[in-house]
Chain A
Amino acid sequence: MKNKLIISAILLSALALTGCDKKEDVLTLKVANWEEYIDLGDWGEDETIELDNGKVILGEQSMVDDFEDWYFENYGERIKVDYSTFGTNEDLYNQITLGDVYDLVCPSEYMITKLAREELLEKYDESFYDSEDELNYYSRGVSPYISSVFSNLKLRDASLDRYAAGYMWGTLGIVYNPELITEEEAAHWSLLTDKHHYKQITVKDSVRDAYFAGLAMNRSAELLSPAFVNDPDYHEKLTEALNSTDPEIVEQVQDILTRVKENVYSFETDAGKADMVTGKIAANQQWSGDAVYIMQQAAQEGLSLRYSAPEEGTNLWFDGWVMLKKGINGDERKKQAAQAFVNFISMPENAVRNMYYIGYTSVIAGGDDDTIYQYINYNYAGEDEAECVPHRIGYFFGDEADEEDRYTVYAEKDSDEFYQLDAQYPTKEVIDRSVVMACFEEEDNVRINRMWTNIRCFDLRRLFML
């Protein structure tokens, strides 16, 4: 009898539980982002950012939780964000193609192109671009410069901005210790094969980033020649040169990268950051976002590091939010929620929170809102005007000439802040020599991957040389 009572009690409570579940029909948005790539909150009181325009910014709870509350307040609907992370673009691609379903993901530019080509992406609604709408923080705040880069990238049937909303962006360059490596040496990709720095430099263990540097080294003299630089079609020609897949060129790059491999400390995926801060290595190939992080860490240890985007050319990279057809599956509510998520994290205050938390550079310039510019000043502006030099970033805010100095930051000359600012927001000269990596055709990818395998595998001839 007692047993029966217990069983029926369990059954009843189970019924009650399922009843509860049914009552609340909560929409779930599945979001996948890079690891450590959004503000997770939990800031200490002393981390509060108080800007000159009166904004007080503090990450109390995670951005994702804040979004759920914000969505309910503004759209009157409860939502649950199922947030997960991935490690590399390739991991994400494998997950997507092997059947994991996501609604909104944040891959890098070449992966966005690949996904768009394979028709896996859902376009943003026309209404997303309506900058009259108060809630369209992305369209109202995105940097005009980034916006123009996006609209200039043509995919099959539309430009890239129909498929993707930017998140973070930056350049590819070299972090170096100025006590061991001169500014002149770091200004060229040839540093990677410099015998004077034998086994002191790391290179990214990534085919595309290594290949990019190899291409720049291969045609260094030509790319730096006045005739090339002053060509009216300089940027198109540079883009073509640094995205070349010509078999002959691939072979030449293989020789260069073989020399790189013999000369460098190692190819690394993540260890370079710590090795740079602890002084094990003198320089490392790095993305600007991680470069800022490394420089800040090193400054805390009393070590001044610098970042250089080499003169031959640098890669302009960005990560962007894209909606996946399979996840959205024609559900308008889901699509609205996904777009709202992008808008929410594009709110200037939230862009600041993310930048503070992860150290990268947001694509958001703020539009009418000067929070982003204030935050840059808060971070980097020097106190003693006599010691300061101007750093012009008007192009980012859509006012290239910037005659009124509205978007010029004055940082103390030769200070750590000055170099960090330069890494986080490059000058127009660096931007002019930056190119976006193209998404290669399948056969070209095969050729370049084979080249990479050849470099990394053991060369039997070395056995006989011993």
Chain B
Amino acid sequence: MNKNEKTVSLMLIPYVLFLIVFVVLPLLVVIYYGFTDQQGNISFSNFINFFGNTRTVGTMVYSFGIAIITTVICLLLGYPVAYILAKGSYARKHAFLMIFVLPMWINFTLRITALKEILTMVEGNIALHPFFNTIVCMVYDFLPFMIMPLFNSIAKLDDSLTEAGRDLGATGAQVFFKIVIPLTIPGIVSAITMVFLPAMTNYVVLDMVYNSTYIMGSLIGSYFNAYDWNNGSVISAILLIMIAVLTVISNRIMRGKDDQNR
């Protein structure tokens, strides 16, 4: 037993090292730079810089807007697809799923470039609709990340529960909204986190479709380009806090669901 424990702890070493070098240390560096000034004194000036400037706050609102709209559209498109794939009686269910997930295997700049050409064909001058094009490309880029967790969650759903609902006289809509959706909430939550956070920072998409307005990711990049580690880091820290809050909330929701199920 003792020997077993020893080997287990020995095997943990690489993972612990990995965590320290690639997770903990960078995080500490970000926090250090975020809450010090150029001279290295502890200070909240970067924090005040960010929230005190209506433009940078404007960019936060703009990033939120893009992320929310992208997530909602992905969810509206992705859920029916995931449901049909998971519950439909197709012989080649997994082949269909693969077709939807296939774009994930192609380099994403390549995909966006192709989509950009299509948009140019349709719209003529794509610089006239930067916001619309950003959303189209974001949705296209993140849809597979939405479908996968939803598919897994819906596939695990016990059919006897929906059958019972129907036997007891519920309409199709009632079964869907009162049984299927509540039981797949964990899948929905993880799908949303998969899409929402990257959509807030994926500025490469904006660059590629000629949207010259900064989102959070490009703002960080611009500070780093000007050797301003402090102001760049504080924004990373702010994003990090948002991710943490979002994760806590989603965990609450999931735990709540688990309790109900019991």
Contact = CB atoms under 8 A, between A and B. Distances in A.
Contact of B222 (A93, A446, A456): A456
Given A88-B225, A265-B127, A457-B56, A280 B120 contact: yes
Given A280-B120, A449-B228, A460 B61 contact: yes
A457 B219 contact: yes
A93 B224 CA distance: 11
Contact of B55 (A97, A199, A265, A454): A454
A459 B226 CA distance: 22
B128 interface: yes
Given A261-B212, A458-B55, A458-B59, A90 B227 contact: yes
Contacts of A267: 212
A453 B214 contact: yes
Contacts of B55: 453-454, 457-459
Contacts of A397: none
Contacts of A445: 226
Contacts of A261: 212
A67 interface: no
B261 interface: no
B125 interface: yes
- Describe B's contact surface by its main secondary structure: helix
B58 interface: yes
A265 B57 contact: no
A452 B59 CA distance: 13
Given A90-B226, A266-B127, A458 B61 contact: yes
Most chain B CB atoms below 10 A, which of A446, A449, A453, A454? A453
B225 A90 contact: yes
Contacts of B57: 460
A415 interface: no
A91 to B, nearest CB: 8
Interface string B52-90: 011111110110000000000000000000000000000
Given A88-B225, A266-B127, A453 B56 contact: yes
A127 interface: no
A456 B214 contact: yes
Interface string B192-215: 000000000000000110111110
A268 B225 CA distance: 15
Contacts of B210: 265-266, 268, 271
Interface in A431-447: 445-446
A93 B58 contact: no
Given A90-B225, A280-B120, A458-B59, A199 B219 contact: no
Nearest to B211: A266
Interface string A409-450: 000000000000000000000000000000000000110010
A465 B94 CA distance: 48
Interface in A195-239: 199-200, 205, 207
Nearest to A450: B53
A445 B228 CA distance: 11
Contacts of B125: 199-200, 265, 280
A262 to B, nearest CB: 10
Contacts of B211: 266
A200 B225 CA distance: 27
Nearest to B49: A450
B218 interface: yes
Contacts of A280: 120, 125
A405 to B, nearest CB: 46
Contacts of A454: 53, 55
Contacts of A269: 207
Contacts of B56: 453, 457
A131 interface: no
Given A199-B127, A199-B128, A265-B210, A458 B222 contact: no
Contacts of B54: 460
A460 B58 contact: yes
Interface in B128-172: 128
- 4 closest A-B pairs by CB: A458-B62, A266-B210, A457-B55, A457-B59
Interface of B: 53-59, 61-62, 120, 125, 127-128, 207-208, 210-214, 218-219, 222-228
Given A205-B212, A457-B219, A460-B61, 17 more contacts: A90-B227, A94-B227, A199-B125, A199-B128, A200-B125, A207-B226, A261-B212, A265-B127, A269-B207, A271-B210, A449-B222, A452-B222, A453-B214, A457-B55, A457-B56, A457-B213, A458-B55
30 contacts: A90-B227, A94-B227, A97-B227, A199-B127, A200-B125, A205-B212, A264-B212, A265-B127, A266-B127, A268-B210, A269-B207, A280-B125, A446-B228, A453-B55, A453-B56, A453-B214, A453-B219, A454-B53, A454-B55, A456-B212, A456-B218, A456-B219, A457-B56, A457-B62, A457-B214, A458-B55, A458-B213, A459-B58, A460-B57, A460-B58
